[in-house]
Structure 1
Amino acid sequence: MTNSNVYIYGIDLGKNCFHIIAMDKQGHILSRQKLTRSQMKKFVINTPPTTVCFEACPGSQYWGRMFADAGFEVKIIPAQFVKPYLKSNKNDFNDAAAIAEAGSRGSMRCVPLKTDEQLALQATHRVRQRFITERTAVVNQMRALLLEYGITVPVGRKVFERALPSILEDADNGLPDFMRALVFRLRERWQYLDVQIDEMSELLKQAAIASEQCKLISTVPGIGPIVSTALIAAVGSGNQFKRARDMSAWLGLVPKQYSTGGKSNLGSISKRGNTYLRTLVIQGAKALKIHMNREQSSLGKWIGRLEASHHHHVVLIALANKLIRICWKVLTSGREYQAYPSAV
């Protein structure tokens, strides 16, 4: 496509097939193309640079870097922002048209291109989380199998881990030998996953030590190597957010709003954005809330005042919100966190 009237391309990405819509400034469709993977690479090289848009999905970062290197302005749009522009029935060309329509809006929110470091951290976190999910499934299956023979264990993975040897060694608990062998096999799988999770955690700790940005936000209370690497993998420098509240809103830590007619209605937190990262931040806030010395900084005093009049869950979310705001300020300013001393 060499039409000089093309203002924007909308591309519906696939693994082997790509559907492209070319639009002018008035939103008129100039052409439709279906390309293979090899044809897509030639398209990047031979097409005059303009704006190109696609949904955030597996492969979008790869093609985004390729188009950016060729001089294109790249817009990677979250899928939920594309859907309102889909007209009529869903098919690949209609999806591409909706992507182009969404990308032509000046106020559209886009996903920035990630660096190689961010992609590596993101991949490590995803593999680690997969191992944790698999370990939870193994533990739950072991509990269910034992329950069929009347053997119950109190809640808690560590409690189960301590109780399991005595269960397997007890010859009088009614557990058949074949079931005992199955549970033992699952226990070996559990131990293997523990090793894998520890290795992934160690990789993230080493990455946090090597990254200047991770070291910077690790100075914030409640932010350790796991949270810092997850945060940098997701937001990078944080410059895509205009203010601290925007980053906490992106993470879903601000109240959900439904306001009309001048009446403001605020509900529970929106829980938008990255569920995994939000969970890690809340866990970090919980550990900080329990263990911090509240007499040494104004942050501790602030937590104490909130606890006097709010439920502890509300306090926890408020603290997580504040930590994310502090992280944004630390990242964008390039200065380490310095606690305000507690007022006398």
Structure 2
Amino acid sequence: MMTKPTVAVLGIDLGKNSCSVAGLDDTGRVVLRRRLSREGVVRLTASMPTCVMAMEACCGAHHLGRVLREQGHEIRLMSPEYIQPYVKAQKNDERDAEAIAEAATRPTMRFVELKSEAQLEMQILHRARTRLVTERTALINQLRALLLERGIIVAKGRSRLEQHLASMLDEGAPAPMALSPRTLLLIEDMRLEWRDLDRRIAALSAEFQVRAREDQLASRLATIPGFGALNATALVAAIGSAETFHRGRDLAAWLGLVPRQVTTGGKPRLLGITKRGNVYLRTLLIHGARAALPSLVDSPTTMGEWLRGLSARAHKNKVIVALAGKLARIAWAVLRSGQGYRKGDMPVIA
């Protein structure tokens, strides 16, 4: 009597309603192919011996990964770009599942750390705030365009526009001849919407401040120059305690803050930063570095000396990006060491 083959690695190609699974045995041979719903995947894995469950790190993968981990399985999440080379011939869901399973067996594969519910919640809050900021920017631009079409030019800056609208609508000054009563009502409605967006953005920002104080990892990150509540909570939500990264440079590379390399014939050539990975985190780090640069460049520390030397030979924007990469490495060290950043630890230049 033939024994049922044992699945060593199960690749799961996630979909909204249906998922394709492909199971490999110890030799890498495909011994199982199924198309199931998400609930069917959970029922199937509950009846299987403990094995490796491989998925793309996409929407819904972390929730399903936690469910499968509770069943005793080992979870391996991978970036979709690393799985693409293993897809054979024409692309379909079954071959995608097989490629996921095969990629999970490679010893050089890089895996994504499974996120907790708290991390996913924090990421949702950051994405909601980003959406609100984008909506506010679009609303302000539309207001400026509306006024400009009627010959009213307002100086740059959000506060300048607020002051102009206040003088035009609140202080009882006669309305400009170019603006009809209906247009004034529309501008007032847009200003009310602007105020509501300000209130919602401020509420989320205040919540990040509270969470940064309560979370141990985020509070340690907040001790680093250029790190505020936004940077700290966003980074912790993305990487947790940074156990996935073996060194600080790996984190900087994951954020796209290291130079691109073009090497041929043994001659290395470094170009601009790769801009890979999380755009939001990279933007926060660069803005944080821009805010911290003036104080750091004047400090009598090793970092201050490094920044002064770099500023003498490079453009300010390059210095800011280089500092952002340095801050990413410091953040990795702070997360892995369990201690906060202390400026006094840096040697003082005589």
TM-score (norm 1): 0.94
Q: Matches of 2:161 and 2:94 in 1, distance apart?
A: 53
Compared with structure 1, are the counterparts of its residues 24 and 160 closer, same or farther at alpha carbon in structure 2 (3 Å cutoff)? Answer: same
Percent identical: 42
Equivalent of 1:172, from 172, 176, 183?
A: 176
What is the rounded CA distance, in whole Å, between the counterparts of 2:275 and 2:297 in structure 1? 29
RMSD between aligned residues = 1.7
- Report the TM-score, using the length of structure 2 for normalisation: 0.93
User: What 5-or-longer segments of structure 1 have no aligned partner?
Assistant: none
Question: In the alignment, is residue 237 of structure 1 matched against residue 241 of structure 2?
Answer: yes
Per-residue CA deviations over 1:238-281 (Å, capped at 9, x if unaligned) read 12111111110111100011212201011000011110011001
Change beyond 3 A, Cα 1:317–1:139 = same
Equivalent residue number for residue 202 of structure 2:
198
Partner residue, 2:76:
75
Is 1:12–1:20's contact at 8 Å kept on the other side of the alignment? yes
Is the counterpart of residue 313 in structure 1 residue 314 in structure 2? no
Q: Any idea what SS the aligned residue of 1:230 has?
A: helix
Partner of 2:29: 28
Match of 1:343 in 2: 349
Using the TM superposition, give the Cα deviation of residue 120 of structure 1 relative to its aligned residue in structure 2, in angstroms: 2.1
2:82 counterpart of 1:45: no
Alignment of 1:175-254 (within 5 A): 175-254=179-258
- What secondary structure is seen at the aligned counterpart in 2 of 1:65? helix
Instruction: Tell me if structure 2 keeps the 8 A contact 1:44–1:66.
Output: no
- Give the deviation of 1:147 after TM superposition: 2.3
Deviations, residues 295-327 of structure 1 (Å, cap 9, x unaligned): 343322322221111110111011111111111
Counterparts of 2:156 and 2:28, CA distance in 1: 58
CA distance in 2 between partners of 1:250 and 1:264 (Å): 21
Q: Which residue of 2 aligns with 1:163?
A: 164
Q: Cα 1:175–1:83, aligned 2, differ >3 Å: closer, same or farther?
A: same
Superposed displacement of residue 3, structure 1: 4.2
Residue 156 and residue 90 in structure 1: after superposition, are their counterparts in 2 closer, same or farther (change >3 A)?
farther
Contact 2:11 2:99 in 1 (8 A): yes
Specify which of 324, 327, 335 is matched with residue 331 of structure 1.
Answer: 335
Q: Distance in 2 between matches of 1:136 and 1:167?
A: 21
Deviation at 1:341, TM superposition (A): 4.1
Q: 2:285 aligns with which of 281, 284, 290?
A: 281
Deviation at 1:37, TM superposition (A): 2.9
Return the letter of the residue paired with 2:55: F
What is the CA-CA distance between 1:188 and the residue it aligns to?
1.0
Equivalent residues in 2 for 1:31-180, closer than 5 Å: 31-168=32-169, 170-180=174-184
Residue in structure 2 matched with residue 19 of structure 1 by the alignment = 20
Contact 1:12 1:54 in 2 (8 A): yes
Instruction: Name the count of aligned residue pairs.
Output: 343
SS of structure 1 residue aligned to 2:335: helix
Contact 1:252-1:269 at 8 Å conserved across structures? yes
Contact kept in structure 1, 2:297 and 2:303, CA below 8 Å? no
Structure 1 ranges of 4+ moved more than 6 A: none
Q: Distance in 2 between matches of 1:311 and 1:219?
A: 27
Matched with 2:298 is 294
Write the letter of the residue equivalent to 1:219.
Answer: T
Q: Which amino acid aligns with 1:71?
A: G
SS at match of 2:242: coil
